[in-house]
Amino acid sequence: MEYVLVVLAVLCLVTGIAGCIVPMIPGPPISYCGLLCLHFTDAVEFSAVSLLVWGALVIVTIVLDYVIPSLGTRYFGGSKWGTWGCVIGTFAGLFVLPWGIILGPFLGAFIGELIGQRGAQTALKSGIGSLIGFVLGTFMKMVLCIYFVYEAIAAAV
């Protein structure tokens, strides 16, 4: 059983990193499951505080992954129309994977600004802000998953 958990943990950690890029796979939660699998082996034991903090980081990362594109829209001069368009585009993009998750926030912010009677220049700027927010969210997920891999290796050595 010990070997099965270790193999499952490695698979989860690798799949978690892949999930940061592939929108259909929730990267950080799967990587966290890998840490939990390792925790239940005799080879590695993490403290309860570490597991709770890492679990909280996973939840924060999931929430921020949906919020950051909207913040990018706002930061790049988008109005409430662009922000709401970004939110709607993010959720609509989930139904058109994998490109929908990238283009949804961008197109949502762009179309939202156009509906709000803003110019095409402002709408494009707002859409680019949401795209940059998406890239930053992906980077944040990747950093967390790589950190989980680091923790797993450091604990095993």
- Tens of pLDDT, residue by residue over 47-77, are 999 999 999 999 999 888 878 887 887 788 7
The pTM score is 0.80
Given pLDDT bands bounded at 50, 70 and 90, which one contains residue 92? confident
Average pLDDT in the chain? 87
32, amino acid identity: Y
CA distances from 90 to 48, 82, 86, 98, 134 (A): 35, 12, 6, 12, 10
Say which residue the tokens 């402002």 belong to. 122
pLDDT at 108 over 90: no
pLDDT at 35 over 90: yes
- Integer Cα distance of 104 and 51 in angstroms: 34
CA distances from 17 to 1, 112, 126 (A): 25, 32, 29
* pLDDT value of residue 56: 96
More confident residue, 44 or 61: 61
The per-residue pLDDT for range 112-150, each reduced to its tens digit, is 888 888 788 888 888 888 888 888 888 999 999 999 999
Residue 60 structure tokens: 């924060």
Reduced to 3 states, what is the DSSP secondary structure of residue 14? helix
pLDDT at 8 over 90: yes
More confident residue, 94 or 112: 112
pLDDT at 34 over 90: yes
* pLDDT value of residue 121: 84
